[in-house]
Amino acid sequence: MEWIKKNNEEILVCNQVALEDGTTVPLLSYPLLTETGIVKHCFTTRMGGVSKGIFSSMNLSFTRGDEKEDVMENYKRLAEALGVSLENFVFTDQTHTTNVLKVTEKDAGKGILRERDYQDVDGLITNVKGLVLSTFFADCVPLYFVDPVHEAIGMSHSGWRGTVRRMGKATIEAMEQAFGTKPSDLICAIGPSICQDCYEVSEDVAEEFKSAFPGYEREILLEKGNGKYQLDLWKANEIVLEEAGVEKEHIAVTNLCTCCNPNLLFSHRASHGKRGNLGGFLCLK
């Protein structure tokens, strides 16, 4: 698929996973993460599920108005396709913060089979094998973190608010504190999200980025006039990771835009809010 290649380098692969009942679930993954040999991971598309209408078909949100039974069936299909247990998913509680939570066996199932006893959490980290870190998207940026030295992982949600406040750095610092992670050892990916061409922001948002990323204004912002700018969240998050100490060659940066591909991916902007959720998932084998 040419839309997941950049300069002939394979950034993402799309695996069509056949389930026991004969249905197929497409899952996107990063060769750079797969090559570590210690994780299972994916980013979902909007295909392969049973949801209907604006949620068609692999909607992973219980809170946007979809039928709960359909969403649960979607998760059952996802779990089978990824080769993980439904009981081991752990959900974020995303409110555009930079709060990162360390989760363990006691958190298994929270958000899907059990109530969460935490809130305002946009990032999860763990060193527990089999626990599936689960984050949700429809234009915002998924961030994947794999520490192959300490066998620890992190998964974060970074919209513009998270990006300007350096969610990537916050996640890395949480992993350093919890597991002794060195940024130079990390293997990271910046997942499918809205591209600069599609992401117009107002002057107040642009000013926040100018202040937070001095010297990088021309790399991440394109002024359009009338107080409007095009913002490059992919580049901004790459800068955040590199400034936090991640090696450039250890970062896979997407070129797959949610807004440009509304038939493949849910996009809040493309659908004017009438949509389901995609998911980013990461677990230690």
> What's the pLDDT tens digit per position in 20-49?
999 999 999 999 999 999 999 999 999 999
Q: Which DSSP symbol is given to 243?
A: H
The confidence score (pLDDT) of residue 2 equals: 43
- DSSP string covering 41-79: EEEE-S-SS---GGG-S----SSSS--HHHHHHHHHHHH
Q: Copy the structure tokens of residue 258.
A: 């949610």
| Residue-wise pLDDT tens digits, 99-155 | 999 999 999 999 999 999 999 999 999 999 999 999 999 999 999 999 999 999 999
Q: Which DSSP symbol is given to 204?
A: H
Separation CA 115–CA 95 (nearest Å): 17
Q: Terminus-to-terminus CA distance in the chain, angstroms? A: 27
256 C-beta neighbours (distance < 10 Å), count: 23
176-182 CB contacts, 8 Å cutoff, 24+ apart = 178/102, 178/125, 178/127, 178/152, 179/125, 179/127, 179/147, 179/150, 179/152, 180/150, 181/147, 181/149, 181/150, 181/152, 182/147, 182/149, 182/245
The confidence score (pLDDT) of residue 147 equals: 98
Q: Which fold has domain 2-195+232-284?
A: CNF1/YfiH-like putative cysteine hydrolases (3.60.140)
The confidence score (pLDDT) of residue 165 equals: 98
Q: Copy the structure tokens of residue 118.
A: 């935490």
Q: At what angle do helices 233-243 and 167-179 cross, to 10 degrees?
A: 30
Report residue 252 CA to chain centroid gap.
13
| Residue-wise pLDDT tens digits, 67-100 | 999 999 999 999 999 999 999 999 999 999 999 9
What predicted TM-score, i.e. pTM, was given to this entire model?
Answer: 0.97
Residue 252 makes CB contacts below 8 A (sequence gap 6+) with: 11, 12, 30, 31, 32, 33, 188, 189, 190
Q: Which DSSP symbol is given to 267?
A: -
Separation CA 170–CA 163 (nearest Å): 10
Separation CA 2–CA 7 (nearest Å): 10
Q: Copy the structure tokens of residue 113.
A: 């089979």
- Determine how β-strand 251-253 pairs with β-strand 187-190: parallel
Tell me if 167 sits within 8 A of 99, measured CB to CB: no
| Residue-wise pLDDT tens digits, 248-284 | 999 999 999 999 999 999 999 999 999 999 999 999 9
